[in-house]
Amino acid sequence: MKLACIGDIHGFWDAADTAYFNASRYDGLLLVGDLPRMTGGLREARALSALTKPAWMIPGNHDGCSVVQLMAEIRNWRVPAALTSRRMARRVGALARAMAPVDLAGYALDRLNENTALIRARPHAMGPNRFYYAAYMRRAHAVRDFRQSAQRLKKLVDAAPERIVFMGHNGPAGLGSEPTDPWGCDFSPAFGDFGDPDLAEAIDHATRQGKQVLAVIAGHMHHRHKRGGAERVHAVRQQGMLFVNAASVPRIRQDGARRHHVALTLGDHEAHAADTWVNAEGRIVETQTLGN
């Protein structure tokens, strides 16, 4: 089975992308969230709705929020964050309707094939230092903190068949604290490992249950460093699991001549992935094997 993983879109998706994936040999697409440049995303959602392959998306921290709400979350302004969260369910619903048949969800278990599940982790993930979007998460998902979120994810693991692919917006904790690690914090290196503890706990639970985690796909911590320096490691393989950060931002470069996705191949016992750059005519111009 071959899947195309699309990192944080942030406004960079056009008709050439849709045409490429519709004509491709991929069995489906995984979209890790963050549709708009900042907020909104309806234009990008409508463009995605023309995809004819099965496609699953998890909301990112830029999906379904307003500018004021995003600012309130970042600055930890609690009252404005709570007030602006009231319309979030409506905005997420509008995005979901605009992108259908692309499926938008968090905390979801889907079958990729008979033996393999796709588990989508906590939606709107933004980092482990606070439980972001708390009022919305409580109302829309009945989840109040990382502990409850981990419990929710473990139930999905228990209901899954023997093989699992996890998809999050942010990646799991435990993969390193340097800014060059897949989910190490680059905007404030003092935060160190910026992966999410609930996702890490769910992955650990899956392996303890004897389930095979083939791959964990996420984004959020963009590949391009704002302050220059060494490039982030895009993928690592640990204990047979392939962890991929797909967030090459912007994913369209050089006036459309280079468009990024990650080609993910699922075998019976392991996954393989490659950073893949395609031109506007749909020809692959560069591939780089990840996490070997």
Q: Which residues bind Fe ion (CB under 5 A)?
A: 8, 34, 60-61, 220
132 versus 146: smaller Cβ distance to Fe ion: 132
Q: How far is the CB of 73 from Fe ion (least distance, A)?
A: 11
Per-residue burial over 219-255, b if 16 or more Cβ lie within 10 Å, else e, is bbbbbeeeeeeeebbbbbbeeebbbbbbbbbbbbeee
In whole angstroms, how close is the CB of 292 to Fe ion at the nearest point?
Answer: 26
Question: How many residues make up the chain in this entry?
Answer: 292
Name the residue nearer to Fe ion (CB basis): 171 or 291.
Answer: 171
- Cβ-Cβ contacts under 8 Å for 189 (sequence gap 6 or more): 178, 179
> Percentages helix, strand, coil for the chain, rounded to the nearest 5?
30, 30, 40
Residue among 120, 122, 124 nearest 146 (CA): 122
Q: What's the CA gap between 112 and 142, in Å, rounded?
A: 27
In the bound state with Fe ion, the residue whose beta carbon lies nearer, of 152 and 220, is 220
Q: Which is nearer to Fe ion, 19 or 134 (CB)?
A: 134
CB of 249 to Fe ion, least distance (A): 6
Q: How far is the CB of 171 from Fe ion (least distance, A)?
A: 11
Whichever of 59 and 163 has its CB closer to Fe ion, that residue is: 59
> Which residue carries 């995809």 as its tokens?
51
Q: How far is the CB of 158 from Fe ion (least distance, A)?
A: 28
